[in-house]
């Protein structure tokens, strides 16, 4: 005879978190437990199965191609939960919401990798019409995979902790990613965790992690005239030569690295580059000055695929280029570690990245007297404040301008 606190249970497949837009939801295996006094508890075991609500009725998928296969997957998920319940019963552990939740890590999503979970989150947002641009999620996934390769491990649910965040931040700093890119990845990572939480896959401990960047300030360099001349007069080979040319084109146009591949003959009209910026989705027109024309003429557009290189690889190669050309001027960086502010001098070849070319272009244009609005029309920044943050006035330029200012006083 069952004791007064003994519970019986039912296991069912139900559809949860259904989007109002797409009508797509996530299949959950739920366990209903009932005590003798009639108190009901519900425990959720999410699956990776997503289906439209009209195609799912009473635990069965109908009316779509491959429905038999999907129903088999659902039965496999139910079997996993039933096996878990049997293991608890064998150990004389009562079947309660608490004991089931404690055992979740041994079941359901525990064997999914972090990459698969981020993919799930990306798909969830697409289904709910909240994520039209998947590039950032794809880049985040690539970065997680690269870190896994470096550490020779595969991240899972149990790895969603502060160490994971710290390891990612360290890895991104080593790659030379700018702060805005790191923040963008962190935002998408946290958004992925939120989706997992809403789908009962993880608890809310991810909200207590520290996602702040540890770098307080890094003096993103602008190149000196002498350094620009070294780059112009050098001739390298293969990938390093490709990186040198791309860096120079970026510096001569002020464009982002991601927009360089748009500089092709059909987009150069009346000696002007006419392109639509990928990030800001705005059109820009950049006059092709004589030296830029010479550089572009050195590129064989018929084999332009040979010039293709992704941003992460480029930043690695351009560091090698600067090291080979002995462009190693000390650059001051300021970092926060364990609450301490640490100032370091690092050689230019270790901190250089594609964005330094863009900052150099903007700073030179400013020194030449172009207004902020004029620079904005070339770079395509959304607002003037964004342009101002890029400008770094050289010491020599300040000396010249202050000497000109001094003449206003004419003390004899």
CA distance 78 to 47: 10
Higher model confidence: residue 204 or residue 226?
226
Cβ 261 vs Cβ 277: under 8 Å:
no
Is residue 220 within 8 Å of 359, Cβ to Cβ? Answer: yes
d(CA 294, CA 272): 14
Q: Which residues contact 356 (CB under 8 A, 6 or more apart)?
A: 220, 221, 222, 223
The rounded Cα 319 to chain-centroid distance in angstroms is: 22
At 67-84, the pLDDT tens digits run 888 899 899 889 888 888
Instruction: List the single range of 280-284, 286-290, 365-369 with lowest mean pLDDT.
Output: 280-284
- 314-351 tens-digit pLDDT: 888 999 999 999 999 998 877 655 445 667 788 999 98
Contact (Cβ atoms closer than 8 angstroms) between residue 47 and residue 112? no
- C-alpha distances in angstroms, 398 versus 222, 277, 367, 393, 394? 15, 33, 9, 7, 6
Looking at per-residue pLDDT, the higher value among 405 and 65 belongs to 65
**What's the predicted TM-score (pTM) here?**
0.49
Phi/psi of residue 104, each to 5°?
A: -55, -35
263-280, pLDDT tens digit by residue? Answer: 888 888 888 998 888 666
The CB-side HSE value for 240 (13 A sphere, CA atoms) comes to 12
- pLDDT, tens digit, for every residue of 206-245? 887 877 765 444 456 889 999 999 999 999 988 898 899 9
User: What is the band of 406 on the pLDDT scale with cuts at 50, 70, 90?
Assistant: low
Q: What is residue 4's predicted lDDT score, i.e. its pLDDT?
A: 41
Residues 70-96: b if buried by 16+ CB within 10 A, e if exposed: bbebbeebbebbeebbeebeeeeeebb
Name the residue among 161, 378, 188 with its Cα closest to residue 274. 378
- For residue 137, is pLDDT > 90? no
């Amino acid at each position: 005879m069952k004791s007064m606190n003994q519970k019986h249970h039912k296991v069912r497949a139900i559809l949860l978190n259904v989007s109002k837009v797409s009508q797509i939801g996530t299949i959950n295996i739920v366990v209903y437990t009932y005590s003798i006094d009639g108190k009901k508890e519900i425990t959720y075991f999410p699956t990776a199965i997503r289906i439209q609500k009209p195609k799912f009725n009473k635990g069965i998928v109908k009316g779509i191609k491959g429905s038999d296969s999907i129903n088999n997957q659902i039965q496999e998920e139910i079997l996993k939960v039933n096996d878990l319940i049997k293991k608890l019963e064998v150990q004389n552990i009562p079947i309660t919401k608490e004991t089931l939740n404690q055992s979740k890590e041994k079941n359901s999503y525990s064997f999914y990798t972090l990459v698969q979970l981020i993919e799930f989150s990306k798909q969830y947002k697409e289904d709910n019409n909240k994520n039209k641009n998947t590039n950032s999620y794809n880049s985040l996934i690539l970065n997680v995979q690269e870190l896994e390769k470096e550490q020779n491990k595969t991240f899972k649910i149990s790895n969603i902790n502060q160490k994971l965040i710290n390891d990612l931040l360290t890895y991104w700093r080593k790659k030379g990613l700018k702060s805005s890119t790191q923040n963008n990845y962190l935002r998408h990572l946290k958004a992925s965790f939120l989706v997992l939480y809403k789908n009962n896959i993880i608890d809310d401990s991810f909200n207590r992690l520290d996602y702040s960047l540890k770098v307080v300030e890094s003096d993103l360099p602008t190149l000196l005239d002498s350094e620009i001349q070294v780059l112009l007069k050098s001739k390298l080979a293969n990938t390093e030569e490709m990186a040198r040319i791309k860096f120079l084109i970026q510096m001569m146009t002020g464009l982002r690295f991601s927009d360089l591949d748009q500089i092709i003959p059909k987009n150069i009209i009346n000696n002007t580059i006419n392109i639509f910026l990928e990030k800001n989705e705005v059109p820009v027109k950049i006059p092709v000055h004589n030296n830029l024309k010479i550089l572009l003429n050195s590129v064989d557009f018929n084999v332009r695929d040979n010039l293709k290189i992704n941003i992460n690889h480029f930043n690695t190669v351009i560091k090698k280029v600067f090291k080979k050309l002995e462009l190693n001027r000390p650059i001051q960086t300021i970092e926060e570690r364990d609450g301490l502010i640490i100032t370091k001098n690092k050689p230019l070849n270790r901190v250089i990245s594609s964005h330094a070319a863009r900052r150099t272009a903007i700073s030179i244009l400013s020194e030449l007297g172009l207004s902020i609005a004029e620079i904005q029309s070339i770079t395509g920044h959304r607002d003037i404040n964004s342009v101002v943050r890029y400008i770094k006035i050289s010491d020599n330029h300040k000396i010249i301008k202050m000497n000109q200012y001094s003449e206003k006083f004419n003390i004899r």
